[in-house]
Every structure is written in structure tokens, then in C-alpha cells.
């Protein structure tokens, strides 16, 4: 999470390989196929020695957000292994890891799950997000059976989260992931 009044955030990167160094490339993109993002990653490319760590710094270059706003971007960390000269036809695997990067106004009010409504509409399950936050859903349970995993509900959005018929007598529990990776349940 990046609060818009911070100068930068520091991302630690660990190379747990005891033998090989890796090149690390980092950048930020928009969340849904947008290429431009108002961030700069420094250094954009650096080497991390074996069994060592390095850091990428992410700085926000955009305008201040309104007092009740959160935006979503992707932090990309690409790990590039070294090429061995003694092997002619070696398969190289480059891993690009993507992490959600939430940009928040420094003045945003804390998330209150009382402002998130679970709605049964035409025997379907909906969520109405009456907050400026992006909600990350881990799981949806109906009568203790997991029917859905991994979904995002955008700020101020009403979204259908299940195509299954939901009776009025069935219990519904939704697990959300908070800023610290903890699970928050809402019935």
C-alpha cells in the first residue's frame, strides 16, 4: 500500500539462491492493461548477489488524490537468471511476479465493513461496496461450502459474486483479505 504523501516506498528483494546472482527489473503498470502509471521504480534494473538482498524504491509522481480515493496498480518484479557460457542450449526461465499496489489518499477514512452490504437479488448473491476501497475477496461460503474464490470488488461498485441460486434461509459468509493479509469474515 502506498499513501500519496509518502516520498517513496522500499520493496525488499531477496535472492535465496546460494550460487547464482539475478538481475531484477521493477516497474509499475496500471491494473487493467494500462501501460502508463504515475510511478517510477529505481533502480529500474539491478543485480542481487547469491544469498543476498537488494531493494527497489517506488516513488509516486502523480497529483494528490482526493480525500476519499484509492487507486489500484500492479508492481512488477522480474527476476532474470544469469546465462551460463559453458552450456550452449540452456532453457532460461524468467519470472515476472505481479503484486497489487494500492495508492491511497492520506486523508482516506479507515475501512468500515459495515459499509459493505451482502445482497440477495433474484436468488443471486451480490456485494455492494459503499467504500472508497478495493475489496479483495478470498472465498465465498454458502452453508459452509466454498463456492467462489479470488474476486475484486471496486470502490462504490455493486457486483454479482455468485451465479448459484441462493435461498433466503441459506447462510452466507464472505472472506475478505485486509491490508495485512489477514482474513476478515462478513456474514
The H helix count followed by the E strand count for the chain is: 0, 15
Chain centroid to Cα 145, Å, comes to 26
43 grid coordinates: 533502480
Chain centroid to Cα 186, Å, comes to 20
pLDDT at 85: 78
Highest mean pLDDT among 27-36, 48-57, 62-71: 48-57
For the chain, the C-alpha Rg in angstroms (whole number) is 21
Residue 100: count other Cβ atoms within 10 Å of its Cβ. 14
Residue among 28, 33, 29, 34 at smallest CA distance from 9: 28
187 grid coordinates: 456474514
Query: Left if phi > 0, otherwise alpha if psi is -120 to 50, otherwise beta: which for 114?
Result: alpha
Residue 83 confidence class, pLDDT cut points 50, 70, 90: confident
Q: Average model confidence (pLDDT) for the chain?
A: 91
Q: How far is CA 167 from CA 114, 120, 142, in A?
A: 23, 8, 10
Mean pLDDT of 2-21: 93
* Residues in CB range of 168: below 8 A, 6 or more apart: 120
51 grid coordinates: 544469498
**DSSP β-ladder status, 95-104 and 2-3:** parallel
pLDDT at 167: 80
Q: What is the pTM of this model?
A: 0.85
pLDDT at 44: 95
Domains of the chain with bracketed CATH: 2-104 (2.60.40.10), 113-186 (2.60.40.10)
What would the pLDDT profile of 124-170 be if each residue is shown by its tens digit? 899 999 999 999 999 999 888 888 777 899 999 999 988 888 887 88
Q: Torsion angle, CA of 104/110/112/118, rounded to 10 degrees?
A: 0
Amino acid at each position: 500500500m502506498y499513501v500519496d504523501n509518502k516520498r517513496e516506498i522500499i520493496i525488499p528483494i531477496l535472492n535465496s539462491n546460494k550460487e547464482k546472482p539475478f538481475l531484477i527489473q521493477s516497474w509499475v503498470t496500471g491494473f487493467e492493461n494500462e501501460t502508463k502509471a504515475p510511478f517510477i521504480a529505481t533502480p529500474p534494473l539491478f543485480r542481487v548477489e547469491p544469498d543476498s538482498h537488494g531493494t527497489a524504491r517506488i516513488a509516486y509522481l502523480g497529483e494528490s488524490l482526493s480525500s476519499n480515493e484509492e487507486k489500484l496498480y500492479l508492481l512488477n518484479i522480474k527476476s532474470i537468471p544469469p546465462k551460463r557460457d559453458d552450456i550452449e542450449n540452456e532453457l532460461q526461465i524468467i519470472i515476472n511476479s505481479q503484486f497489487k499496489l494500492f495508492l491511497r489518499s492520506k486523508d482516506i477514512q479507515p475501512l468500515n465493513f459495515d459499509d459493505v452490504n451482502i445482497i440477495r437479488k433474484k436468488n443471486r448473491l451480490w456485494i455492494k461496496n459503499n467504500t472508497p476501497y478495493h475489496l479483495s475477496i478470498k472465498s465465498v461460503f454458502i452453508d459452509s461450502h466454498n463456492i467462489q474464490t479470488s474476486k475484486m470488488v471496486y470502490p462504490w461498485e455493486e457486483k454479482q459474486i455468485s451465479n448459484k441460486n441462493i435461498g433466503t434461509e441459506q447462510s452466507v459468509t464472505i472472506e475478505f483479505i485486509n491490508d495485512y493479509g489477514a482474513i476478515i469474515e462478513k456474514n
